[in-house]
Amino acid sequence: MDKNVKAGELKLYQWMASYLPVLLIRLGIDEQTAFARKPDHQLAALQEKIAVTPQLTFNGARILELDGRQPADEILQASLRAIHAALS
């Protein structure tokens, strides 16, 4: 991955992590699915992001882990339920 891209993503993550969100929704995904959805991305870059993302704690925020391989409607419904519960 390009050093400038990494530096930019790190700065963005640091900015986001400085705030504690009410809820963070993280979609877990395997490399085959990610590459199928983003064929213009380098496979090595996707593999690195897939490896690093589960380690991010987002400043201790509550994280809803969803399987990004599930049907879009199931992901949407689970997300909406979690958002509704978090804001109630």
What pLDDT, on a 0 to 100 scale, did the predictor assign at position 26? 95
Domain boundaries, the chain: 3-87
| pLDDT tens column, 22-74 | 899 999 999 988 888 889 999 999 999 999 989 888 878 889 999 999 998 99
Token reading at 75: 């992901």
Token reading at 27: 């979609």
Characterize the bridge pairing of strands 63-67 and 24-28: parallel
